[in-house]
Amino acid sequence: MASLEPAAARKVRIPYLDFAEDFIKVIQNGEKKATTRCPGPKDTDVTSDLEAIMVQGWALAVCQAKAFALLAFDRVETRKFADIDDGLAQIEGMTQGAELQSALLRFYPDVSPEDEVVVLHFHLLKTISE
């Protein structure tokens, strides 16, 4: 009979969600409570584990491979890029939808108005400092 490996010995991968450096403080102070991502073929983020995050409901927020926060996800919504509005921008710590669209174009330069984006709403569980 094969022996069962203890749970502690199994390799477990914590889901990561990668952020640019300019979003660290607004996440840590609670101003940013969502992140909008462009999944699929136009996704340029090779670090984040979106599928695992949506299944598990939490993630380690990282920037340049350094953890800065632990996040819990409350809900996920899908909308078209063109439907990004001021309300969503404010949840993301910005003021206008156009500002959020411009920020997203930095990371997803090929996104079009008709492309669907995923909005992950979260709350901060813990700030991680060096």
Name the residue among 47, 19, 17, 36 with its Cα closest to residue 117.
36
| Each residue's pLDDT tens digit, 40-82 | 888 888 888 888 998 899 999 999 999 999 999 999 999 999 9
pTM value > 0.75: yes
Rounded distance between C-alpha atoms, residue 73 and residue 58, angstroms: 6
Rounded distance between C-alpha atoms, residue 47 and residue 23, angstroms: 16
pLDDT at 129 over 90: no
Domains of the chain, first to last? 16-127 (3.10.400.10)
Q: Measured over all CA atoms, what is the biggest interatomic distance in the chain, rounded to whole angstroms?
A: 62
H helical segments located in the chain:
24-28, 50-56, 86-91, 97-107
